[in-house]
């Protein structure tokens, strides 16, 4: 028999226990056993009947199997079976109907839209991964600036701040973080950021993308006056401002790790956040061309990583003694950040409980193990809170 015609009748070759059978697939019924001879499938028949009689016997067996299948199969459409099976997915219905012994023959496999499924199962549409519309100049530095406000944070930082205001450039993925005591300072910080950004980089901010928070209401009038277009995402769809949302998570994850590893009190979280942003702007970014850092995207120069030190590193900071000859010329402290404007390090001095900005430091990473241990012991002695944190 021609194997192609056998398939048309729903009969297929199957191997079971080392033997080959022609099987009616829909019901799993064996029609007859076959053997392979000279690259062909042969059927053994019994008796001395003529060749034509034996062929007719095989044909009748196939016909009976096909007729039996027709009598026992229920014809229906994919849509109807989908409804019978409680509106499960079309793919599942298709597989179940084609399974051996299902008793179903599909007369139509058209996947029509099911209104009941739309009413009972429909979710929100997938959000676009793009952070702005196609008409926004996202490829230009400063073309689209995303902003977001997070807080209140507990506890307050050492300056009494409880909120974070982020500004993220969509083109370079650079981030600037401001620490504020309340949300109403959003407009003031945006004005400060816009002037600094445009003057320092000699470019212009075209679009400010934010959520629909009320704290940005006063920003609208300033944007109208300066020609900055506003882009506001809906409260239940933050995709268009997703970059700022994700940056908040990245910065906070890094700041938490810095703060926990330093053993500094929790009210130094503001310094950790600012330093995390400083490090991220100098770190390789997968979203940028050739994984360049945001700072390299601005300047075209690879950042000098030797200037980055571990947050909370013990150090000795030079103190001007004036005319007091016998006063110590250095004081033990901890590095808690960098200051872009003065190009110095922010150093916490536990003895005086103050933070100074200075370029004259000797960092722990330049000291040997013995000197490092001495500095750490001195820090714990001068600030009981540090000692308590380490012991816990």
Distance separating alpha carbons of residues 115 and 79, to the nearest angstrom: 11
Which pTM does this prediction carry?
0.65
What angle separates helix 242-262 from helix 269-280, to the nearest 10 degrees? 120
What are the chain's domains? Answer: 3-72 (no CATH), 74-121 (no CATH), 144-280 (3.30.420.10), 309-391 (2.30.30)
For 300-318, what is the mean pLDDT? 87
User: What are residue 258's phi and psi, to 5 degrees?
Assistant: -60, -45
Round to whole Å and give the CA distance between 61 and 74.
22
pLDDT: which is higher, 354 or 59? 354
Q: The tokens of 222 are what?
A: 């300033």
- C-alpha span between 121 and 216 (Å, rounded): 36
pLDDT digits (tens, 9 = 90+) for 46-78: 655 566 665 666 666 666 655 555 555 678 898
Q: Are 256 and 249 in contact (CB under 8 A)?
A: no
Calculate mean pLDDT across residues 321-325: 71
Contact (Cβ atoms closer than 8 angstroms) between residue 311 and residue 340: no
Residue 378 · residue 332 · CB < 8 Å? yes
Q: Residue 297 pLDDT more than 80?
A: yes
Dihedral of the alpha carbons of 218, 223, 229, 232, in degrees to the nearest 10: -10
Q: Using pLDDT thresholds of 50, 70 and 90, give the confidence band for residue 3.
A: low
> In this structure, is the dihedral angle defined by the CA atoms of residues 134, 127, 169 and 190, taken in order, positive or negative?
positive
Place of tokens 């950042």: 303
pLDDT digits (tens, 9 = 90+) for 129-156: 555 445 556 678 889 999 999 999 999 9
Tokens of 112: 């029509």
**Cβ atoms 20, 36 nearer than 8 A:** yes
165: helix, strand or coil: strand
pLDDT bracket for residue 100 (50, 70, 90): low
User: 44 exposed, middle or buried (CB, 10 Å; 0-12, 13-18, 19+)?
Assistant: exposed
Return all residues near 346 (Cβ < 8 A) that are at least 6 apart: 271, 335, 336, 337, 338, 339, 355, 356, 357
Local structure of 323: helix, strand or coil: coil
């Amino acid at each position: 028999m021609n194997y192609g015609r056998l398939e048309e009748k729903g009969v297929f070759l199957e191997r079971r226990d080392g033997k080959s059978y022609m099987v009616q697939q829909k019901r799993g019924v064996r029609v007859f056993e076959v053997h392979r001879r000279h690259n062909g499938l042969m059927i053994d028949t019994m008796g001395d009947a003529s060749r034509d009689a034996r062929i007719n016997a095989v044909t009748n067996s196939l016909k009976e199997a096909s007729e039996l299948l027709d009598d026992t199969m229920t014809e229906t459409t994919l849509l109807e079976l989908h409804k019978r099976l409680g509106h499960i997915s079309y793919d599942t219905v298709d597989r179940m109907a084609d399974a051996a012994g299902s008793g179903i023959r599909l007369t139509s496999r058209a996947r029509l839209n099911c209104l009941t499924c739309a009413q009972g199962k429909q979710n929100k549409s997938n959000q676009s991964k793009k952070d702005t519309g196609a008409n926004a100049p996202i490829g230009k530095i400063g073309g689209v600036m995303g902003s977001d406000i997070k807080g209140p944070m507990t506890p307050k930082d050492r300056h009494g701040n409880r909120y974070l205001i982020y500004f993220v450039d969509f083109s370079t993925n650079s981030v600037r973080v401001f620490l504020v005591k309340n949300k109403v300072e959003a407009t003031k910080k945006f004005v400060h950021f816009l002037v600094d950004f445009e003057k320092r980089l000699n470019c212009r901010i075209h679009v400010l993308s934010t959520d629909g928070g009320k704290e940005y209401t006063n920003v609208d009038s300033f944007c109208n006056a300066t020609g900055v277009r506003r882009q506001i995402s809906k409260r239940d769809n933050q995709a268009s401002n997703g970059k700022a949302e994700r940056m908040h998570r990245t910065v906070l994850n890094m700041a938490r790790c810095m703060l926990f590893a330093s053993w500094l009190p929790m009210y130094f979280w503001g310094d950790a956040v600012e330093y995390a942003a400083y490090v991220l702007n100098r770190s390789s970014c997968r979203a940028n061309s050739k994984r360049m850092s945001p700072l390299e995207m601005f300047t075209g120069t690879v950042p000098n990583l030797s200037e980055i030190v571990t947050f909370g590193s013990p150090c000795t900071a030079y103190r001007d003694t004036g005319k007091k000859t016998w006063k110590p010329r250095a004081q033990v402290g901890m590095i808690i950040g960098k200051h872009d404007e003065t190009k110095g390090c922010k150093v916490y001095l536990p003895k005086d409980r103050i933070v100074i900005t200075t370029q004259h430091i000797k960092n722990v990473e330049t000291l040997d193990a013995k000197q490092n241990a001495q500095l750490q012991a001195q820090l714990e002695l001068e600030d009981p809170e540090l000692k308590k944190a380490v012991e816990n």
